[in-house]
């Protein structure tokens, strides 16, 4: 970075470049955008960053992001608390909700198994998932003190990657031991809508064949 910038600008660019997907040139553009913004807008941005760091934590039940002890999804009595969708990160909840097809609750693992990176089962929220299933209630005690709804199904929605598949298989094995009566499902994977077969790789096409259904 050019040393012609004042130290505060250099520091801002340096901090912005630490964000994922932000290179030095993009960080410079963002820095100058902030400089051109009004003092009120810049202060609002700084305040919003401070606020999320101070107020946002993990839901005590599903470990999604929340500013309360329990997230809004876990508190929603209209959701089907008998179905738990297991995802790797809080950001994975957003695309699931956008489908408007899922009406159960979630469990956020906080990552995926990766021995190479030193991420073992103990580093994820797997034990907490087993506890939720083992107690027979998706959310433990309800707000009125009554028992939560029994868990009927666990949907494994980890990413279709090597680590995601390994995580799903590990959890499935643990769940079968802990709750043999439980229905365990995995999100289907295969050809994306609107794609052509000639552009599909062997793995994707193989998954599509394995997950085929009758019409």
Q: Residue 199 carries which DSSP code?
A: G
Coil, helix or strand at residue 171:
helix
In tens, the pLDDT along 21-45 reads: 999 999 999 999 999 999 999 999 9
Task: Check residue 135 and give its pLDDT.
Answer: 64
Domain(s) labelled CATH 1.10.8.420 in the chain stretch across 7-55
Which single residue is written with the structure tokens 């820095």? Answer: 31
pLDDT at 140 over 90: no
Q: Which string of DSSP letters, residue by residue, matches 105-133?
A: EEEE-SS--BGGGTB-GGGTTHHHHHHHH
Task: Check residue 134 and give its pLDDT.
Answer: 80
Residue 31 exposed, middle or buried by CB count within 10 Å (0-12, 13-18, 19+): buried
Query: 65 or 143, which is more confident?
Result: 65
Q: Residue 142 carries which DSSP code?
A: -
pTM for this model (two decimals): 0.83
The H or E element that residue 1 is part of is: none
Is domain 7-55 given the CATH code 1.20.5.510 in the classification?
Answer: no
Task: Check residue 129 and give its pLDDT.
Answer: 96
Listed in order, strand segments (DSSP E) in 45-150 are 57-58, 65-66, 80-87, 104-108
Q: How confident is the model at residue 145 (pLDDT cuts 50, 70, 90)?
A: very low
Tell which CATH classification among 3.40.50.1000, 3.40.50.2000, 3.90.1420.10, 3.40.1360.10 matches the domain 77-188. 3.40.1360.10
Domain(s) labelled CATH 3.40.1360.10 in the chain stretch across 77-188
In tens, the pLDDT along 164-203 reads: 999 999 999 999 998 999 999 998 888 787 878 778 788 7
Q: How far is CA 28 from the centre of its chain?
A: 30
Q: If you average pLDDT over residues 75-101, what whole number do you get?
A: 95
Q: What is the mean pLDDT of the chain?
A: 89
């Amino acid at each position: 970075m050019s040393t012609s910038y004042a130290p505060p600008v250099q520091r801002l660019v340096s901090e912005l470049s630490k964000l994922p997907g932000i290179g030095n040139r993009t960080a410079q553009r963002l820095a100058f955008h902030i400089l051109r913004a009004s003092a009120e807008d810049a202060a609002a941005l700084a305040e919003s960053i401070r606020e999320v760091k101070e107020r946002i934590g993990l839901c005590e039940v599903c470990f999604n992001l929340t500013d309360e002890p329990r997230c809004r999804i876990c508190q929603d009595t209209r959701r089907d608390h008998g179905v738990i969708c297991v995802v790797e990160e809080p950001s994975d909840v957003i695309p699931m909700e956008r489908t408007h097809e899922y009406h159960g609750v979630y469990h956020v693992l906080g990552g995926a198994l990766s021995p190479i990176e030193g991420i073992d089962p103990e580093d994820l929220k797997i034990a907490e998932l087993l506890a939720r299933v083992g107690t027979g209630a998706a959310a433990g005690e309800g707000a009125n003190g009554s028992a939560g709804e029994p868990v009927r199904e666990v949907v494994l929605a980890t990413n279709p990657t090597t680590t995601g598949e390994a995580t799903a298989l590990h959890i499935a094995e643990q769940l079968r031991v802990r709750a043999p009566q439980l229905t365990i499902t995995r999100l289907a994977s295969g050809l994306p809508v609107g794609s052509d077969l000639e552009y599909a790789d062997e793995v994707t096409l193989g998954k599509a064949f394995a997950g085929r259904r009758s019409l």
